[in-house]
Structure 1
């Protein structure tokens, strides 16, 4: 699954610079995650860095609209970061 930032977001600016996939940006009211770019940090870290730095519990959650297994997230990582080598 890619991740989703909920309305609990306080716009603290902690998550955006931590995202290695540049999937986080400011939305109309609070930060949002581009599900097409989010790999839950697979290919970069053991755990999603946005969840680690978020000061509000349960603000960044699995996106129920984007169910993806580890293989699909890995494929997305490869496509975004190594497309020039394919």
Structure 2
């Protein structure tokens, strides 16, 4: 959000973490619309899995070391976020 601003909405499932009153209040405070999926619609879950499969298959390759078998040492979460943002922006 710091780099691109607050999105208009975010699509989430109906898990307990996404119907929590604190999350709803936080989203309302920053103007983020929380859109819940329709219960019993596995189609969206399949799309989500595809996104994670792509990230796992392509982003992790990008951050692997030159040897390919041992991953690069990532110092902290900030470095991981920077690398991931650069990867997404260059898709």
Higher helix share: 2
TM-score of the superposed pair, with normalisation by structure 2? 0.29
Higher strand share: 1
TM-score of the superposed pair, with normalisation by structure 1? 0.30
Larger radius of gyration: 2
Structure with the bigger RCO (C-alpha within 8 Å, sep 6+) is: 1
